[in-house]
Amino acid sequence: MARVLSFIALFLFAWTLSAQVDTAGIPISRLGREDLRNDLLPFDKQTVVTASRSLREIRDLPFTTYIITAEEIRNQGYVTLVDAVRMLPGIRVSQPGSGADGETFLMRGLLGNSYCKILIDGVPVKPFATRGMPIGAQLPVRQADRIEVIYGPAAALYGSDANAGVINIITKRSERPVYARANLTMGGNGFTGLDVFFGGKFGKNNRLLRFNVYASAANRNDTDFLDPQDAIYDPRTYLDRYRSPLVRQSILQFDSATYYTRLPQAQFPHQSRSLGLNLAYRGLRFSTDIFYRRDPSTLGLNPVAVNYQNPQDFHGERITRFRFGYQRYAAKWGIETNLSGLIYAMDPQSSYPYQVNQLGDALYGLSYLKASQSGSLDQMLYDSLVQVIGDRYFTGNRFSSAESNEFDLDLILSVYPWKFLEWSAGIQGKAFFSRAQRNNLRFPNDTNNDLPLEEGQFANAFTQLILSLKPFQVFSGVSYYIFDQKPQINPRFGLSWRATDQLSLRGFYGRALRQPPVYYFGQTYLIPKDNILNPSPAPIPLEPEETSSWEAGFRWHPLSWLHADMSWFSSRTENFIVYKKIEPLEEELLNAPVLLGYFNFGDTYLDIQGIQSRITLGNPAISNRILLELGLTWSRGEERVTVQKAPLPYVREYPQWLIKTRLTYRWKERFFTTLDLRMATDFWANNAEPPARRLEGYKIVDLNFRYHLTRNFQTFFQIRNLLADEFAGISATGTGDDLQFNPQMGRTLWVGLSYDLEQ
């Protein structure tokens, strides 16, 4: 008990409050409580708002859509967003993923942290300064009424970064005067989690003030990695990734008997916190949230690049959001406007213990060339250059810094002149002031070595028309996106046909773009060959990455206990931003500077086609004791990573087969248990350099028990990775500094207690 109380006290006093939030919201205020109770409805009649910004049944949507209900979140004990989506078709997860991104997931071959738009109550939460959305236990998953997952490009409604899809975490709204929820979880590796939620309403008739407050804290002392092959922690495994004589010689002199960076000696703790407030009075809305997360910065990085010994080396960040909104809806029209902002700041104590990364390898290699210009090696000059580079970039503690201030103004107009027609249009404007991440600062908040502040604006105008011509639903939309005076048009078209009450067919086409985040500018260097000791940020303009996708499918429920959703999809993403070293080879350019970092390559692409399905036997709406859910995804594709290389006949890190099965058993509404099985066939590692490495597939079994002690109290027991299967996650950065593969957690036990009160 003392440990729990001290944990709560530490959480409550650790925050220093500031403010901020992001783009367009969804008019959830129009929805009644029963509209949102999807756990009481058959699967095909569940309703969502994210796909079209208005309430519609899934069977009438032309987009592949899934709902994760509050009941599922509670019964399965989900803590993070990746927990919630890992059983969905077409998604592969990594827990852990990386220090910068936290937990990661692939969605139809694309990294979801970067290419999927993640919303909280319709408001985007990803900072513009980060490569992807950092995911830990800080997001309000436990406080969600439901999570809506939409597959496919959605730029026509949500602007940039919705290439793979959209995930909307919709928090609880109670129509009761008082609502409260609390969860206490304890688990292996010293995990302790506590989250509380309190909400309700005051007033009478239409003068109601609705409110909710939530807070959470999670802490894990270590991460139990499964280590399938000690070779991944052997520096000699990575010899071919480094070119400089100094680094290669150091690797070749490796002595396994005295090697001190073995993973079992290190600790990999995690910490997350969150605090949020939502107020609604008639048409006025206000919300503010603070999210904090920290993970070891060395996650997924190889032993040549980093030293694992210090558990205080971490990547941490705080995201603070706010939103002021106004909504008004009449019988024939509606209007919504939002002023929002977001403040992102890396924890000033964040540090990356690089021994030698790709930048260091390039600098050491250029030092050798410079010291050998006379035809023989000038050892004194070489030693001097090596000493300066080491002192300047790699010796001692090296801290990291990044920040971003972002402001958004959105205006959305909706018109419903007839029952069969809905038209909406909106304008979204954004201004940002961001400083990219820098990893080699001598001390926290070292402004002498910081990067300049990047300033910019972009705008997105969209319109959408929905025709309900029974039995057809026609969706058409387009967005006009402008950044740096370069416009781009992104359409989205869909058709749904309810052939019978049991069968609906659908088709969809959409395009989207991913705006290059400021993160890339801080990791791209220009190295003058006549001044190699002073690499500078390279002002290389980057273009958006573009995705286009086709999809066709059907939803079928011939019996009350049988539901099937199947789709075929084909997606192509082009103009990838790739990490690469560019060194001129022509003789007349021998003195030209070296470029190292992130660049667009117009001939790069990822093509993926596949079939995705979800079959459900049983129906929780009629209290079936047994429920079987089967998710199958088969895909094939190819990638072209850089213009110099032939296409790869596969999609890296994405298995051809993903199979997911969940068996649920209920007994007398008090006992609930599930058995989850996730299987994947072999897949290829994320190394573009030959030889390609094929990684083994996996079979992961999770077991969950939940028992209702009373109407309000529940207890649960969970075993994750029951069989202690050894498998690879998703690569950390996509650069040569990554591990050969990213090891995942072994068997872990979780126990917890939940409390729900609604009056």
User: Phi-psi bin for 159: left (phi > 0), alpha (psi -120 to 50), beta?
Assistant: left
CA distance 425 to 442: 49
**Number of domains the chain contains:** 1
CA distance 528 to 366: 10
267 touches 189 (CB < 8 A): no
Residue 1 has pLDDT above 80, yes or no: no
> One-letter amino acid identity for 453?
L
Higher pLDDT, 687 or 273: 273
DSSP secondary structure letter of residue 314: E
Question: Does the N-terminal peptide bond of residue 691 adopt cis geometry, omega within 30 degrees of 0?
Answer: yes
pLDDT score recorded for residue 450: 66
Q: Which residues pair with 477 in a beta bridge?
A: 464, 492
pLDDT band at 266 (very low <50, low <70, confident <90, very high): low
Question: Taking residues 689-708, what's their average pLDDT?
Answer: 88
pLDDT band at 7 (very low <50, low <70, confident <90, very high): very low
CATH number for 74: 2.40.170.20
Cβ-Cβ contacts under 8 Å for 137 (sequence gap 6 or more): 79, 80, 193, 216, 218, 270, 272, 293
Residue 130 has pLDDT above 90, yes or no: yes
CA dihedral angle for residue 640, residue 645, residue 649, residue 650, rounded to 10 degrees: -50
Tokens of 462: 């969209």
122 touches 168 (CB < 8 A): yes
Question: Taking residues 79-92, what's their average pLDDT?
Answer: 97
* Strand stretches in 530-625, DSSP E: 536-537, 545-559, 562-574, 577-582, 594-600, 605-617
> One-letter amino acid identity for 360?
G
Residue 408 has pLDDT above 80, yes or no: yes
pLDDT band at 20 (very low <50, low <70, confident <90, very high): very low
pLDDT score recorded for residue 483: 80
Residue 676 has pLDDT above 50, yes or no: yes
Question: Taking residues 238-260, what's their average pLDDT?
Answer: 79
pLDDT band at 237 (very low <50, low <70, confident <90, very high): confident
Of 139-143, 174-178, 325-329, give the lowest mean pLDDT range. 174-178
CA distance 71 to 99: 31
pLDDT score recorded for residue 226: 58
Higher pLDDT, 625 or 510: 510
CA distance 755 to 442: 47
pLDDT band at 749 (very low <50, low <70, confident <90, very high): very high
pLDDT score recorded for residue 119: 94
757 touches 179 (CB < 8 A): yes
Q: Which residues pair with 463 in a beta bridge?
A: 425, 478
For residue 417, which phi and psi values (nearest 5 degrees)?
A: -65, -35
CA distance 605 to 610: 17
Residue 741 has pLDDT above 60, yes or no: yes
Mean of the per-residue pLDDT values of the chain = 86
> One-letter amino acid identity for 4?
V
CA distance 616 to 628: 6
Of 149-153, 690-694, 733-737, give the lowest mean pLDDT range. 690-694
pLDDT score recorded for residue 16: 33
pLDDT score recorded for residue 449: 64
Tokens of 424: 């909406």
pLDDT score recorded for residue 540: 84
Residue 36 has pLDDT above 50, yes or no: no
pLDDT band at 585 (very low <50, low <70, confident <90, very high): low
CA distance 357 to 382: 19
User: Phi-psi bin for 73: left (phi > 0), alpha (psi -120 to 50), beta?
Assistant: alpha
Tokens of 498: 């309810």
CA distance 732 to 711: 43
Residue 452 has pLDDT above 60, yes or no: yes
C-alpha to C-alpha distances, 419 to 464, 466, 468, 599, nearest whole angstrom: 16, 10, 8, 49
CA distance 435 to 11: 28
CA distance 429 to 427: 7
> One-letter amino acid identity for 595?
L
Residue 501, SS3 per DSSP: coil
pLDDT score recorded for residue 42: 55
pTM, two decimal places:
0.91
359 touches 535 (CB < 8 A): yes
pLDDT score recorded for residue 360: 92
Q: How far does Cα 388 stand from its chain's mean position? A: 38
Q: Which of 598, 549, 588, 707 is nearest to 62 (CA)?
A: 549
Residue 405, SS3 per DSSP: strand
C-alpha to C-alpha distances, 544 to 109, 161, 197, 599, nearest whole angstrom: 18, 10, 39, 11
Question: Taking residues 584-590, what's their average pLDDT?
Answer: 55
pLDDT score recorded for residue 447: 72
Residue 229 has pLDDT above 90, yes or no: no
Q: Which of 92, 38, 98, 94 is nearest to 70 (CA)?
A: 38
pLDDT in tens, 460-477: 999 999 999 989 999 999
pLDDT score recorded for residue 352: 92
569: exposed, middle or buried (Cβ count in 10 Å: 0-12, 13-18, 19+):
buried
Q: Which of 745, 731, 703 is nearest to 222 (CA)?
A: 745
Of 56-65, 66-75, 220-229, 706-715, give the lowest mean pLDDT range. 220-229
pLDDT in tens, 286-305: 999 999 999 999 999 999 99
CA distance 288 to 712: 29
Any idea how long the chain is? Answer: 759
Of 71-85, 311-325, 370-384, give the lowest mean pLDDT range. 370-384
| Residue 487 structural domain | 2-758
pLDDT band at 177 (very low <50, low <70, confident <90, very high): confident
pLDDT in tens, 473-499: 999 999 998 887 678 899 999 999 999
pLDDT in tens, 508-537: 999 999 999 999 998 999 998 888 888 888
Cβ-Cβ contacts under 8 Å for 422 (sequence gap 6 or more): 54, 414, 415, 416, 465, 466, 468
pLDDT score recorded for residue 389: 93
Tokens of 51: 């796909």
C-alpha to C-alpha distances, 726 to 448, 620, 656, 746, nearest whole angstrom: 45, 34, 19, 7
Cβ-Cβ contacts under 8 Å for 679 (sequence gap 6 or more): 657, 658, 659, 660, 697, 698, 699, 700
- 516-531 burial by CB neighbour count: b if 16+ within 10 A, else e? bbbbbbbbbbbbebee
pLDDT score recorded for residue 566: 97
pLDDT score recorded for residue 623: 57
pLDDT in tens, 529-583: 888 888 888 878 899 999 999 999 999 999 988 999 999 999 999 999 999 988 7
pLDDT band at 21 (very low <50, low <70, confident <90, very high): very low
Q: Which of 117, 113, 181 is nearest to 145 (CA)?
A: 181
Q: Which residues pair with 638 in a beta bridge?
A: 607
Residue 15 has pLDDT above 60, yes or no: no
Cβ-Cβ contacts under 8 Å for 544 (sequence gap 6 or more): 160, 483, 488, 513, 514, 515, 516, 575
Q: Which of 350, 367, 373, 303 is nearest to 535 (CA)?
A: 367
* DSSP-assigned states of every residue in 52-121: TSS-EEGGG-SS-EEEEEHHHHHHHT--SHHHHHTTSTTEEEEEEEETTTEEEEEETTEEHHHHEEEEET
Of 545-559, 590-604, 652-666, give the lowest mean pLDDT range. 590-604
CA distance 492 to 551: 12
